[in-house]
Amino acid sequence: MTDQYAVIGNPISHSKSPPIHRMFAEQTGQDISYEAIESPLDGFAATIERLRAAGYEGCNVTVPFKFEAFELATRLSERAQSAQAVNTLKFEGGAILGDNTDGAGLVADIEHNLGVSLRDKRVLLMGAGGAAYGVILPLVHAGAHIAVANRTADKARQLAAAFAASGEVTGCGYDELDELQFDVIVNATSAGLSDSAIPLPDSIFAPNALAYDMMYGRETPFMAFAREHGAHVADGLGMLVEQAAEAFHIWRGVRPDTRPVLEKLRSA
């Protein structure tokens, strides 16, 4: 019988997750279905209950439900706990396992697809909201030396303090970055949504630096700034595919080859 999965969000019609998971399923010979489901904003728990009752095996969760999914899970992975958010649910009898594959997806994209090892690299993580919390633990575990910078500097310091025991993480405001250089700069802010620039010093990029924007589908002011300053620039499409592959592995126990899927999305 075909095992059923879905991605739940609101809005959800533009999600690339269904074609990604269908390509994974075809490639690995897994008999699954995967659809996009829009949940009412006040009806996430009811939507999940409906899927469980209908025999679904699990689902992905996206904006704005990742925190509700975190609350709903009866068991959480370490990375979901640190993210305080869940993007992957697996239904197992009466249990709901909650995981977060965003950070693993980011690290896999940077290290495997873009070929940049994070071990001992100076990484600047910009932002201290949900997106930054979602990725920080896997960045720490990859062995990077991390500075978190945020418009509201206190939030960056708070985030850094929460992870200081796990690795080297400091927090600051953008005005404290003068004189510093980074090998990898990750934009986890929502500034790009409003086409806002982030006030970075001109000298922020180390030679050969990677500028990574977790957004995809648009050139953000940060990406344009990075290009002007000679950095390598990547958007978040690879992260999207890699976090999906990690979810697929949680559900199916097999790891799809992400490269042809990413190539297909890029050429579409």
Q: Which residues of the shown chain bind ligand ATR in the complex (CB under 6 A)?
A: 127-131, 150-152, 155, 189-191, 196, 198
- For residue 125, the minimal CB distance to ligand ATR (Å) is 10
Specify the residue, 172 or 254, whose C-beta has the smaller distance to ligand ATR.
172
- Catalytically active residues are 66
- For residue 55, the minimal CB distance to ligand ATR (Å) is 31
Specify the residue, 151 or 229, whose C-beta has the smaller distance to ligand ATR.
151
Specify the residue, 39 or 220, whose C-beta has the smaller distance to ligand ATR.
220
- For residue 260, the minimal CB distance to ligand ATR (Å) is 29
74: tokens are: 């009866």
Specify the residue, 150 or 258, whose C-beta has the smaller distance to ligand ATR.
150
- What residue is closest to ligand ATR based on CB? 129
- For residue 13, the minimal CB distance to ligand ATR (Å) is 20
- For residue 102, the minimal CB distance to ligand ATR (Å) is 10
Specify the residue, 11 or 55, whose C-beta has the smaller distance to ligand ATR.
11
Amino acid at 82: S
